[in-house]
């Protein structure tokens, strides 16, 4: 797991010694993280489909200013949509309002359909903008950026350790599963299967605790004192400030127009 979003990229021009491969990636990571957070909060507060669509198109435009591969990005978007599609399908039948059609005696309302479409557009806009603004940030780079933004150090450390060791725990799980298969285990709807799966996750938890203790001892032997030294050289430039102000103005326009539309109609 060498990166979170898109291709590998140096944390900054000043610290990495290499030129970023995209326009968005050339800005200070702190500005990009804050912009992604503001965009997410403001887009979620939109109530009109028209302005949610405008935010989505803004996210699409931002994506084209990065080096994100289109096919891979669409796959990630589809994976996100798979989690919310059930909720979106159920909303027209659970929201009271003007009936449009009936399925097996259940009436689908126009208001519910509009709400489902609005949620879907907002979710895709937020995810696409997050992928675009954070494209190229490695887990370590993202952790350093959050630390520079004065996020709680404990949460930053937890995120970095999770990203680092989740693949290790995944490999440990597969080793335990392979051991069970070699002993003739086959999952069935039986008490033995449930008991065996309980033993599996219990053993995975025990081994995780043991590995955590070994990692902590190894880090203490190397002089770990509770925090990671920051080795990056982030420099906030005038172009970063202009990007942040421009981005804030853009999303503020969406929110103001959305509120004005609601009041007017």
Cβ pair 51, 257 in contact under 8 A: yes
Q: Do 67 and 185 sit in the same domain of this protein?
A: no
Single pTM value for the model: 0.72
pLDDT at 47: 86
Instruction: Tell me the CA distances in angstroms from 102 to 88, 92, 109, 113, 162, one per residue in order.
Output: 16, 10, 9, 13, 47
51 and 119 fall within a common domain = yes
At 51-97, the pLDDT tens digits run 889 999 999 988 888 888 888 888 888 888 887 787 778 888 877 77
Query: CA-CA distance, 222 to 238, in Å (whole number)?
Result: 39
Residues 99 and 182 grouped into a single domain: no
- Whether 178 and 204 map to the same domain: the answer is yes
pLDDT confidence of residue 57: 92
Q: Do 59 and 160 reside in the same domain of the chain?
A: no
Quote the number of domains for the chain. Answer: 2
Mean pLDDT by groups of 10 residues along the chain of 265 residues = 42 40 80 90 88 90 86 84 80 78 76 85 90 83 83 82 84 90 87 90 89 86 76 78 88 83 58
Q: Residue 202's pLDDT is what?
A: 92
Q: Looking at the structure, tell me whether residues 162 and 31 fall in a common domain.
A: no
Question: In this structure, what token pair is assigned to residue 234?
Answer: 């982030």
pLDDT at 250 (0 to 100): 86
32 falls within a domain: yes
In this structure, the number of other CB atoms found within 10 A of the CB of residue 119 comes to 16
The verdict on 33 and 134 lying in the same domain is: yes
Q: What is the pLDDT of residue 19?
A: 43
Q: How confident is the model at residue 252, as a pLDDT?
A: 86
Structure confidence at residue 3 (pLDDT): 42
Same domain flag for 176 and 58: no
Report pLDDT digits (tens) over 137-161: 887 788 888 888 888 888 888 888 8
Residues 144 and 183 in one domain: no
Which structural domain, as residue segments, surrounds residue 158? 153-221
Regarding whether 248 and 122 lie in a shared domain, the answer is yes
3 falls within a domain? no
């Amino acid at each position: 797991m060498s990166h979170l979003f898109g291709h590998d990229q140096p944390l900054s021009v000043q610290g990495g010694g290499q030129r970023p491969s995209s326009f968005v990636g050339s800005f200070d990571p702190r500005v990009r993280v804050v912009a992604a957070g503001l965009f997410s909060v403001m887009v979620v507060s939109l109530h009109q489909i028209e302005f949610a669509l405008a935010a989505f198109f803004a996210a699409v435009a931002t994506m084209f200013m990065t080096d994100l591969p289109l096919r891979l990005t669409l796959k990630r978007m589809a994976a996100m949509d798979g989690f919310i599609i059930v909720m979106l399908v159920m909303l027209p039948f659970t929201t009271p309002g003007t009936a449009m059609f009936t399925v097996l005696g259940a009436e689908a309302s126009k208001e519910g359909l509009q709400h489902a479409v609005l949620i879907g557009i907002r979710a895709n806009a937020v995810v696409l903008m997050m992928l675009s603004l954070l494209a190229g940030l490695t887990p370590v780079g993202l952790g350093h950026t959050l630390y520079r933004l004065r996020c709680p150090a404990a949460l930053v450390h937890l995120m970095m350790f999770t990203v680092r060791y989740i693949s290790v725990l995944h490999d440990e799980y597969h080793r335990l599963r392979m051991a069970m298969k070699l002993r003739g285990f086959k999952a069935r709807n039986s008490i033995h299967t449930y008991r065996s799966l309980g033993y599996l996750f219990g053993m995975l938890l025990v081994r995780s605790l043991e590995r955590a203790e070994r990692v902590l001892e190894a880090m203490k032997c190397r002089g770990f004192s509770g925090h990671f030294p920051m080795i990056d050289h982030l420099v906030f430039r005038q172009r970063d400030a202009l990007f942040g102000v421009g981005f804030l103005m853009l999303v503020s326009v969406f929110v103001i127009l959305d509120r004005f539309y609601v009041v007017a109609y």
